A = this chain, B = another copy of it.
Amino acid sequence: MQAYQDLMAHQRQTQALAQISGRLGWDQETMMPQGAAAQRAEESAALQTVIHARRTDPCVGDWLAALSGADLPPEAAANIRHIQRDWDKARRLPADLVAALARQTSLSQQAWAQCKTDENVAGFLPFLTDIITLKQQEAAALQTPGQSPYDALIDDYEPMMRADDLAQMFAALRPRLADLRARLKDRSRAPMLQGHFPKAAQLELSQRLALAFGYDLTRGRIDLAVHPFSSGSGTDVRITTRVDEADPFNCLYSTIHEVGHACYEQNIIADYALTPLGQGVSMGVHESQSRIYENQLGRSRAFCNYLYREMTARFGDMGLSGADEFYAAVNALRNGYIRTEADEVQYNLHVLLRFDLERALFEGDLSPADLEAAWNDRFAADFGFAVDRPSHGLLQDVHWSCGLFGYFATYSLGNLYAGSLHKALRAHLPDLDSDLERGHLTGATDWLAQRVQRFGGLKSPHDTITQACGFAPDATHLLDYLEEKFTG
């Protein structure tokens, strides 16, 4: 077992360096002086070079070879499975392709930002085409027997998931969501909060909510950032939020969402820290936690009654007639073009659109030149109105300019998982609503911590969710929940 000890010691240092890299990213978004950007880019690149060299160090291959076929206890076996997977992937990628992708995504992100401002799809298309070509090369390099090229890209974010399986799960979602959306289309009179919501009071309440949802501030902190995120694993898991003084839901629900991500990291078995098991197992499982905290718990009728009392105590009259209107405001459905601003019903329609387009691009059924038309056709079909400008359509998200093909799907997968976890949670906690009415989340969050979060990377993503639920995740759970919530 010397090989295992040596491999894990090496891995532990690599994970520690990766944590530092994450901390630098946090600093960049929250604390870094604006003039430090170029130097920081060089510092981050130096650290990435070190981390990459450690990940592809021939020693790792030697240790893995020495351990091949060894009879290991479950946690050691899971560690080896993760390390072997990373090692194989890192080794399969040619260094010049990695460099070309780094260069081209950097250029493309700048081009995307400018083209989005200019509503200029034609200007962005050459960059997008180059990125897609490089990602096709990456997919070809990474592909294992039985994987499609798109599978190989998805695997980076959702290990062991296949496009066909996603497509099957999502196939059940799209028609019922589109139908539900159409049935709910008269939403012009959805109530809105009125008034001014001072920053300090929003942040105080958002911290209170973070604590109520189980976030441990002795092992984390809350700061402001333009785009809220969660960062870090082990005993240093930080979140950010943002404040709009006209729209307190932005801050409060961003906080609850990021707390879902952060609690997943904080609740992993402590012994797993700085090992491959010491972090959330996939983007989809991560998103299941952030979404169930934010939506199934945070936007529930019972919790909204609690939140209405807390907000009334702080902000006074919000121009609402009572808790019913407050709940309606929290869950207002409105026509919109933008994925990140969408409600629970429409959000997944945005994501499925992207997933299907990506799949067609990487299966050769769609060329980048036809992407805008395909986007706009699909949008009109699912949402019932037309995209009015590229920044509301094809150019709205940064992901593709960064080369993140395969990522979008994990958002809807997370929602689907959240729907199934919520079904299981309600079965286990029949009195949940009376807890939520009082702002008591610990029954629900402890259940998630014990059933999902604590295992970190020990199981596969699918096993993590299935074993937590006691049944296989399925789109009908989410759909039934949405149907009942929005038409019940």
Contact = CB atoms under 8 A, between A and B. Distances in A.
Interface of A: 12-13, 16-17, 19-20, 23-24, 27, 31-36, 38-40, 42-43, 45-47, 49-50, 216-221, 234-236, 238, 273-274
A39 B218 contact: no
A27 to B, nearest CB: 7
B34 A46 contact: no
Q: How many chain copies?
A: 2
Contact of A39 (B43, B46, B216, B236): B236
A218 B23 CA distance: 21
Q: Which of A27, A35, A40, A234 is most buried by chain B, counting CB atoms within 10 A of its CB?
A: A35
Contacts of A16: 42-43, 45-47
11 contacts: A17-B47, A19-B39, A20-B20, A20-B47, A23-B43, A31-B221, A33-B235, A34-B218, A35-B236, A36-B219, A36-B235
A220 B35 CA distance: 8
A43 B31 contact: no
A46 B10 CA distance: 10
A7 B342 CA distance: 53
A220 B32 CA distance: 8
Given A219-B33, A220-B33, A19 B38 contact: no
A43 B27 contact: no
Q: What does DSSP make chain A's interface, helix, strand, loop or mixed?
A: helix
B221 A33 contact: yes
Top-5 shortest CB links A-B: A36-B236, A16-B46, A35-B219, A35-B218, A13-B46
Given A31-B221, A217-B33, A274 B235 contact: no
Contacts of A43: 16-17, 19-20, 23
B221 A13 contact: no
A40 B33 CA distance: 23
A138 B216 CA distance: 43
Contacts of A12: 42, 46
A27 B27 CA distance: 9
A8 to B, nearest CB: 13
A116 B251 CA distance: 46
Most chain B CB neighbours (cut-off 10 Å) among A33, A40, A47, A218: A33
Nearest to A53: B50
A33 B218 contact: yes
A123 to B, nearest CB: 31
A17 B31 CA distance: 19
A425 to B, nearest CB: 28
Nearest to A13: B46
Contacts of A217: 33
Nearest to A43: B16
A220 B39 CA distance: 13
Contacts of A238: 33
Given A27-B23, A43-B17, A38 B221 contact: no
A312 to B, nearest CB: 29
Nearest to A46: B16
Nearest to A54: B50
A47 B50 CA distance: 10
A357 B178 CA distance: 82
A122 B221 CA distance: 41
Contacts of A39: 19, 234-236, 273-274
A24 B35 contact: no
B274 A42 contact: yes
Nearest to A40: B236
A236 B34 CA distance: 9
Given A17-B46, A23-B27, A23-B43, 8 more contacts: A12-B42, A13-B50, A17-B47, A17-B50, A20-B20, A20-B46, A27-B27, A35-B218
A243 B268 CA distance: 38
A23 B19 CA distance: 14
A207 to B, nearest CB: 14
Contact of A236 (B19, B33, B216, B273): B33
Nearest to A19: B43
A404 to B, nearest CB: 25
A427 B28 CA distance: 44
Nearest to A220: B33
A346 to B, nearest CB: 37
A332 to B, nearest CB: 36
